[in-house]
Amino acid sequence: MGAAEDCGVKWGLAVLAFTAYAAWQLGLPLRGLGPGVVKLFGIAGQMLPPESGGQLGVFVYSLVETVAMALAATVMAGIAAFPLGLLGAGRVVPSLFARWPLRRGMDVARSIDSLLWALLFVNAVGLGPFAGVMALTMIDLGTLAKLLSETVDHASIGPVEGLEAAGANRWESVRFGILPQVLPAYTSQVLYYFESNIRHATILGIVGAGGIGTYLSDRLRVNDWREVATLVLLILLTVTVVDRCSRWARLRLERGV
Amino acid sequence: MRWAAGLAIVAGSFWVSEVSPERLWTGLPSMGRYVAGTLPARGELAGWMWGWKRWLALLWDTILIAYLGTLLGSLAGLFLSFFAARNVTPGRWVGVAARRILELARTVPELVFALIFVIAFGLGPLAGVLALALHAMGAIGKLCSDLLEHTQPGPMDGLRASGANWWEAMRYGAAPQILPGFLSYSLFRFEVNVRASSVIGFIGVGGIGQELYVAIRQFVYQDISAIVVLIVLAVAAIDQLSEWARRRIAA
């Protein structure tokens, strides 16, 4: 008890000291905290009641666009990541030399943020939702391919050995030995990334890549708080509905219906 | 029939989001040129990282913003999770309120919080710290309340039976059971927040993101690639460190 308590106290003090250093280093205006909170409540007050300024139709369509962007990106990434993920797996491509660039490419695609990808694609394909779709696709491509490679490498070896003993070639042993094992998990991951895409898609509009973020950032810029509140409520509603549907689909999938 | 409906929905989503292979095909070369333009030519390699001192300092600021945001957010999330967990909540309506607050906090993107906080608290790192904290609170609060719902009731019941009040039962009965999970989630959140904090810099809360955004906007091509490389390296290093720490917690 004593030793564990001592250790806890030491860690607590270290965290406290580092926190104080961080606040000092960043020059956090802690005195501005009080007035800021007051101002925040003022803003919250100005959000009531939420209204749409007669543009509810436009807002709802931009939400549909957001969901469409997320879905299109999920489908594209889900299809494209499949062969890439297989090629990145040691079971399928034993040569480390061939696999390494692919794995690193996936890592880079993942570690660049969606907003940055969106800026790049706005440059390439112009303003609009397509740039957002491509940005989401790049991120998901990296993540899904990596996850698939790992699932394949962790799949049980038994079926593959059986097939090879029966004279199957490499392609056949992958097709009938590994794919049936990894497909359900892969589909479930793709669905999960659909949920995550919806969240990301809501903000891509800030850099002009389509979706409801276009209006959200615009209304924030002109401090139109009532319409901001409407947009945030619409986002909340959509995210909740999509999460519920996708969770239901994933559960059904896991139960194998 | 179901297949046809699914295909129709996917086709509709492609149409609404203006997916166009030929635009991608004609646009890719210009994107390639852009990316190539940001890379240093062979003779310029020496001057490529010219700003490294300034950039490393800004990167450190970004990491500190992520640290403070994660710390505040995870503590607030931990606190709220005791009210949100269905099995230990002190009252039904308190539970409903806590769950709705956490849901709101994790659904609204941190960028939106940051945009609002910049107006309330002014430009600068404070808005960034608070935005990251609020979002982390939502995520960690949800995860911890899930953990609490799977704890053993024994220790809590024992404490309550021997006269402990709700706070004491939570502190000595429930908290120790979820502590390892909480620490590991917080570390993971720190990784997420380092990425997020390098992006919310775009809107003027300081750190490396702001510098990157300025470089992109002013077409200082080579700085863009230099800063992106630094961010990617820092994120990878922090991921490794945090993964190591999480494995130690699990052991």
Delimit the domains of chain B by residue range. Answer: 55-250
> How far apart are the C-alpha atoms of B49 and B40, rounded to whole Å?
10
Confidence at residue B72, expressed as pLDDT on a 0 to 100 scale: 94
Confidence at residue A4, expressed as pLDDT on a 0 to 100 scale: 62
Q: Select from B64, B108, B116 the Cβ nearest to the Cβ of A22.
A: B64
C-beta atoms of B109 and A203 within 8 A: yes
Q: Is B229 exposed, middle or buried (0-12, 13-18, 19+ CB in 10 A)?
A: middle
Q: Which CATH number fits domain B55-250: 3.20.20.220, 3.20.20.105, 1.10.3720.10, 2.60.120.620?
A: 1.10.3720.10
> For B173-183, what is the mean pLDDT?
85
Please name the helix (run of DSSP H) or strand (run of DSSP E) that holds residue A82, with its range, or none: helix A56-87
Alpha helix segments (H runs only) across chain B: 2-16, 21-38, 45-48, 52-84, 92-107, 110-121, 125-149, 153-161, 166-169, 175-200, 208-217, 221-250
Q: Across chain A, how many H-helices and E-strands are there?
A: 11, 0
| Rg (chain B; Cα; Å) | 23
**Least CA distance to A33: which residue of chain B?**
B121
> How far apart are the C-alpha atoms of B192 and B190, rounded to whole Å?
5
Q: Select from A75, A120, A217 the Cβ nearest to the Cβ of B31.
A: A120
C-beta atoms of B126 and A75 within 8 A: no
- DSSP one-letter code for A54: T
Residue A152, classed as helix, strand or coil, is helix
Residues of A in contact with B212 (CB under 8 A): 116
C-beta atoms of B19 and A115 within 8 A: no
- Alpha-carbon gap: B32 to the closest alpha carbon of chain A (Å): 8
Closest C-alpha to B229, from A257, A44, A112? A112
Degrees to nearest 5, angle at CA B164 with B158 and B166: 100
Low-confidence ranges of chain A (pLDDT < 70): 1-5, 256-257
> How far apart are the C-alpha atoms of B177 and B170, rounded to whole Å?
10
pLDDT digits (tens, 9 = 90+) for A22-46: 888 888 877 778 888 888 888 888 8
Q: Report the percent of chain B where pLDDT is more than 90.
A: 16
Q: Give every CB contact of residue A228 below 8 A, 6+ residues apart in sequence.
A: A47, A216, A219, A220, B116
Cis peptide bond upstream of B125, omega within 30: no
Q: Could you tell me what percentage of chain A is helix, strand and coil, using 3-state DSSP and rounding each to the nearest 5? A: 80, 0, 20
Residues of A in contact with B219 (CB under 8 A): none
C-beta atoms of B23 and A125 within 8 A: yes
C-beta atoms of B120 and A132 within 8 A: no
pLDDT band at B68 (very low <50, low <70, confident <90, very high): very high
Delimit the domains of chain A by residue range. Answer: 56-255
- Alpha-carbon gap: A156 to the closest alpha carbon of chain B (Å): 24
Average pLDDT of chain B to the nearest whole number: 86
Q: Assign domain A56-255 to its CATH superfamily.
A: MetI-like (1.10.3720.10)
> How far apart are the C-alpha atoms of B74 and B91, rounded to whole Å?
23
The count of CB pairs under 8 A between chains A and B is: 156
Is A210 near chain B, with CB under 8 Å? yes
C-beta atoms of A22 and B67 within 8 A: yes
